[in-house]
Copies of this chain bind each other. A is one copy, B any other.
Amino acid sequence: MRSAVVVGTGLIGTSIALALRGRGLVPHLIDADPAAARLAEDLGAGVVGAPRAPVDLAVIAVPPRHVAAVLRQQQLQGLAHDFTDVASVKERTQQEAAALGCDLTRFVGGHPMAGREQSGPLAARAELFRDRPWVLTPGGDAHGRAVGRATRLAELCGARPVVMDPRRHDRAVALVSHAPHVVASALAARLLRGDASELGLSGQGVRDATRIAAGDPELWTDILSANAAAVVDVLTDFAGELNTVAQALRDLADGPPEARPAARGHLNTVLVRGVQGRGRLPGTSTGGVRLSGAAAGA
């Protein structure tokens, strides 16, 4: 892959462009907001404007609900030979692109598993994707050249390409990203009802538990809307676990003494399952806490 264009110079698009610049490519930069494209150029991400001749790969880095329409438009204009995107939900986009009559032989869906709470080109970093998974979801019609170029893009950004079926991807991200976002948002929303002295007791625990809730609500409304069924499935299971705990706590607060041992047991079971589930996350063998000082030496 020797030439590329990035359509949409937000956080992800600009980060990709910066990463490509670091590998010697000079991407073209296009954004519906000319100021955003110029800002990305000022940050050293490439050159503003459409290429004169089709480039090897166009990276559609626009909000999820616009991907299919932008793909269709840019394919009609001959912006590039092959196309990929970066949206967090893959099946819906694939369906929309098919419905709009896009050339699916030249399109491979992509999802770099990286992000930040900030958005826009100023938050972009060339190293955003380093050692992160970058999921590719080629449809049945996709040509090998398009798959190869999307894969090369992920590699040039320092990411680990992973090929998955679009539906399977969407179920996976519902579990490890979208449902956690909803849970963090609902938890953070409850903080609005605390007063300053209560919130003054906050520690790193609640800060970490709600960190992702700081993400852009408009973008996340899009993402969650596009993956609604899979997210609901995870949330339904989650609500079941939560309800087990709530009922146990009600029994412990108000129930008869003879109900308490069973209630403690139900409570403990969910907490143990939490430790086990947490331990299944890659790279959490020590529970995510680094030992230091005397503890590490002992």
A213: contacting residue among B113, B135, B277, CB under 8 A:
B277
Q: Is the CB of B198 within 8 A of A175?
A: yes
Q: Are B274 and A200 in contact (CB under 8 A)?
A: no
Most chain B beta carbons < 10 A, residue from A116, A215, A270: A270
Q: Specify the main secondary structure of chain A where it touches its partner.
A: helix
Of A51-59, A76-84, A96-104, A235-243, which binds chain B?
A235-243
- How many copies of this chain? 2
A278 on the interface (CB 8 Å rule)? Answer: yes
A179→B190 contact, CB < 8 A: yes
**Which of A177, A206, A284 has the most chain B CB within a 10 Å cutoff?**
A206
Instruction: State in angstroms the CA–CA spacing of A124 and B277 once bound together.
Output: 25
Chain B nearest Cβ from A276, distance in angstroms? 6
Tell whether, in the assembled complex, residue B274 and residue A185 are in contact, meaning their CB atoms are under 8 Å apart: yes
CB pair A279 B214 closer than 8 Å: yes
Q: Identify the A interface with B (CB < 8 A).
A: 43-44, 113-118, 122-125, 132-133, 135, 162, 164, 168-169, 171-173, 175-177, 179-194, 197-203, 205-215, 217-218, 220-221, 224-225, 228-229, 231-232, 234-239, 241-243, 245-246, 249-250, 252-254, 260, 263-264, 267-268, 270-284, 287-289, 291-295, 298
- Per CB-CB distance, the 7 closest pairs between chain A and chain B, nearest first, are A185-B274, A214-B287, A191-B277, A189-B273, A217-B271, A186-B241, A172-B198
